[in-house]
Amino acid sequence: MSKPLQYCPETLALSAGFFPDQQTQATTPHITMSVNHSFVPEEGSFSANGIADLADAPFLYAGWTNPTVRQLEQRIAALECTDDAYATTTGMAALSAVFFSLLRAGDHLIISDVCYAAVYELARDVLPDYGIEVTPVNLTDLDAVAQAIRPNTKLIHAESPCNPLLRLTDLAQLAHLAKQHHVLLSVDSTFATPVITRPATLGVDLVIHSLTKFINGHGDALGGCVAGSKALIAQIRSRAAAHFGATISAQNAWLIMRGIETLYPRMKTISDSALQIAQWLANHPRVKQVNYPGLASHPQYTLATEQMAYGGGVIVFQIDAMDEIAQRFARDARLFYYAYSIGHQRSLAVLLKTADLMASTYRMTTEQERQYRRYAGDGVFRLSIGLENPHDLIEELDRLLC
């Protein structure tokens, strides 16, 4: 008997979940736009084609899933080394699906004290309205995490690298701690992508992405996903797809699959360029500090070499005269577009002031803010590196930072 084929991740990015159309032999996935799929009910019941529960039908209603969306889910699961995945309208929809599917009134959530602003605000401002207790913790401090765990703690949510500091979480150690206490661990791996880190192989229960960013890679489609075991994904899908209306459209799923097919070469090119640019910035006389996991100066460089295949496509740096430099990026840049978001094929830049984030989002204790400022000072410029030649990007930075 021949052994089952075991493909490398670069191959799975192209082939997982895809087979040429039987009729046309098309080598590109079709877009199935149909909202409804017909079925024949069993006599005297509401089951479809002999299936006891309509929810078990392969395709029934696009609010649950559809053939194009299912291909995307299968490809993400293959790349993340998980059993299954559920694709959503946005990254925030994926996070909301996890929180509201797994947490109930009286439960306790531990969340990274620095993460994507909308996620932090959801946890801090919305979840308590539903009786869910939330504790922000610096997840680099495992002792602090252990002290924060309570009998009613159900979930720890991390982000690695975290936005905007590029601080890392030791996922293997945190997963070990969570399992000791029978607590689930979810990780937003948007900045890393499966090219750089595959959290499930380190013991993480749920891997979350904003597919809008590097995985799509073209800045033209919103999407999110959560990947994990069949049981957890079924639990999340049964609530979010059926009741939250969070399922991604077929067209966006198709666009994101197109992006996935070039994900591995894109992320390697972007990471190589980002490392060159980070090294250049680190030697610039006006730059005070550069945070980039691929630099030996990163406070967690050793962890980065163990947990990340590349340094990634995002760089943050500190510089004096922040407002003046921001105006230069916004008005004079030709290659860096002054805009929020990350992971596009074109390079982006934006200023993130510490005081603004403290007032609008984090509202940290004095000690938490001190730790934040260790990475960010009074503010950082966040660069999302695209596919331009790195020498051209460096020339533009040299002109803007002079």
Residue 31, in any domain of the structure = yes
Residues 134, 271 within the same domain: no
Last residue of a domain, one of 241, 260, 279: 260
Residue 325, in any domain of the structure = yes
Residues 370, 238 within the same domain: no
Q: What pLDDT digit, counting tens, does each position of 45-72 carry?
A: 544 444 444 445 567 666 777 889 999 9
User: Any idea what the CATH number is for the domain that residue 36 is in?
Assistant: 3.40.640.10
Q: pTM (2 decimals)?
A: 0.91
Residues 118, 37 within the same domain: yes
Identify the band that residue 10 occupies on the pLDDT scale cut at 50, 70 and 90: confident
Asked whether residue 116 carries a pLDDT value surpassing 80, the answer given is: yes
Residues 345, 385 within the same domain: yes
Residue 2, in any domain of the structure = no
Residues 248, 267 within the same domain: no
Q: What is the pLDDT of residue 43?
A: 55
Residues 33, 105 within the same domain: yes
Residues 187, 44 within the same domain: yes
**Domain limits for position 201:** 9-260
Last residue of a domain, one of 205, 235, 260: 260
Query: Which of 277, 391, 275, 393 has its CA nearest to residue 334?
Result: 393
Residues 312, 186 within the same domain: no
Q: What pLDDT digit, counting tens, does each position of 196-245 carry?
A: 999 999 999 999 999 999 999 999 999 999 999 999 999 999 899 878 88
Query: Which of 374, 191, 214 has its CA nearest to residue 297?
Result: 374
* Domain count for the chain: 2
Residues 226, 286 within the same domain: no
Last residue of a domain, one of 260, 289, 306: 260
User: Any idea what the CATH number is for the domain that residue 371 is in?
Assistant: 3.90.1150.10
Average pLDDT value for the chain: 91
Query: Which of 75, 61, 65, 62 has its CA nearest to residue 17?
Result: 75
Query: Between these two residues, 19 and 98, which has the higher pLDDT value?
Result: 98
C-beta of residue 316 within 8 angstroms of C-beta of residue 376:
yes
C-beta of residue 343 within 8 angstroms of C-beta of residue 211:
no
Residues 268, 256 within the same domain: no
Residue 4, in any domain of the structure = no
Residue 379, in any domain of the structure = yes
State the average pLDDT over residues 367-384. Answer: 94
Residue 29, in any domain of the structure = yes
Beta strands in 242-364 (DSSP E): 287-291, 314-319, 337-338, 348-353
